[in-house]
Amino acid sequence: MKLTKKGYTLGGVDLLPIVEEHGAPLYVYDAEKIVSNYHELKNAFAGVDVHLKYACKALTNISILKLLRKEGAGLDTVSIEEAQIGLKAGYEPNEILFTPNCIGFEEIKQAVDLGLIINIDELSTLERFGNEYGGTVPCCIRLNPHIMAGGNSHISVGHIDSKFGISIYQVPHIKRIVDNLGIRVNGLHMHTGSDILDAEVFLRGAKLLYEAAKSFPELEFMDFGSGFKVKYKEGDVTADVKAIGKQIVASFKEFCKDYGRDLQLWFEPGKYLVSNAGYLLVDVNVVKQTTSTVFAGVNSGQNHLLRPMMYDAYHHIVNISNPSGTDRIYSVVGYICESDTFGYDRRLKEVRVGDILAIHNAGAYGFSMSSNYNSRCRPAEVLIYKGQAHLIRKRESLEYLLMNQLEVDLA
């Protein structure tokens, strides 16, 4: 987002006229930024056969999926519904990794029937998979490396108490199941979490995968997950993907040499690709002064952007209606009947009723984690593509909220 003489723009398009046309709250995404993020990450791992599988749980809009497929991305999915949306977006089944957790086996069978790449993270499921398919359908194994990443249990998924993956210490057990049931393991996978700053976390996990690979001679790929830290505010330290890529590529090449053949190197970026490309534009309903605080109350809340309340995540906020106003301090809060605060004590250009505030880094886990709490409708979504604003999701309505409800005759 840029401030010009005319006001704030995104992808070369003025933002306020978009709000005038489509209303607020409104999610707006910059296609050019998403594409730039994708190629920046892929180029960081030049020198090996790298494949990026977009972790679509971050943002599942079908237009975003099509945009990334056009650039060459594959897809990482965690539910059969995500996979089905991916297929509708034009992805081939063999471009979609299916990495669920704690699901019923029927969903695994659905994924096999669709031809997806199956990733298994639980021993009894692996055993059942082998009894059902033997060596006719290959699978990937998700290992838990017992590494804490990101320093926060909410965003770290590779630690010893995590529900994700099979313990790295259970590789001998995995090997027995695989050998006895004739399972063909074509990939090994790990994902330690989010907000990873350097190569050390990846390399620690990689060493464990390299050692585990000795037990599986038919591997085609290794998936190191993702979790590269993105910038949320001025002064944030972010992941140096070029430096990380250089170290991992060197490590992976050495492994492939020892393994006896070249494998594909996979990553599953989600937040890294779409976070800084998305903004939530909200309308100021009230400016309320109390004895200690001035609140800017907006027409949105945790029902549209949950991350500040769920993860205590920081999202930069800008008043795009009054870019030359006087700096004042506000707490930006939502309209939900909960304590839903987007930001405490933020320095903003003077906020007036009717102003539009832009909440940054809303591209990842914004709309995808939204809800209809308080019977509020979810916002529309707009994609800025080649200098044009395209509506890619309609705003919900009361009719949508009632669509699947059935009235019982209580007479």
User: Catalytic residue positions?
Assistant: 337
Give the H/E segment covering residue 255. helix 241-259
Return the DSSP state at 396: P
Give the H/E segment covering residue 206. helix 199-212
Q: How far is CA 254 from CA 28, 224, 248, 262, in A?
A: 43, 16, 10, 10
Task: List, in sequence order, every residue forming a beta bridge with 239; answer none if it has no partner.
Answer: none
Task: List, in sequence order, every residue forming a beta bridge with 119; answer none if it has no partner.
Answer: 140
* 71 close to 93: Cβ distance less than 8 angstroms: no
* 273 close to 41: Cβ distance less than 8 angstroms: yes
**Cα(255)–Cα(300) distance, integer angstroms:** 50
Closest CA to 164 of 200, 194, 193, 207: 193
* 153 close to 132: Cβ distance less than 8 angstroms: no
**Cα(97)–Cα(76) distance, integer angstroms:** 5
**Cα(100)–Cα(76) distance, integer angstroms:** 10
For 173-199, b where at least 16 C-beta lie within 10 A, e where not — what string?
ebeebbeebebbbbbbbbbbbbbbbeb
Query: CB-based burial of residue 110 (10 Å sphere; 0-12 exposed, 13-18 middle, 19+ buried)?
Result: middle
The per-residue DSSP string of 62-88 comes to: HHHHHHHHHHT-EEEESSHHHHHHHHH
Q: Find the distance separating the first CA and the last CA of the chain, reported in whole Å.
A: 56
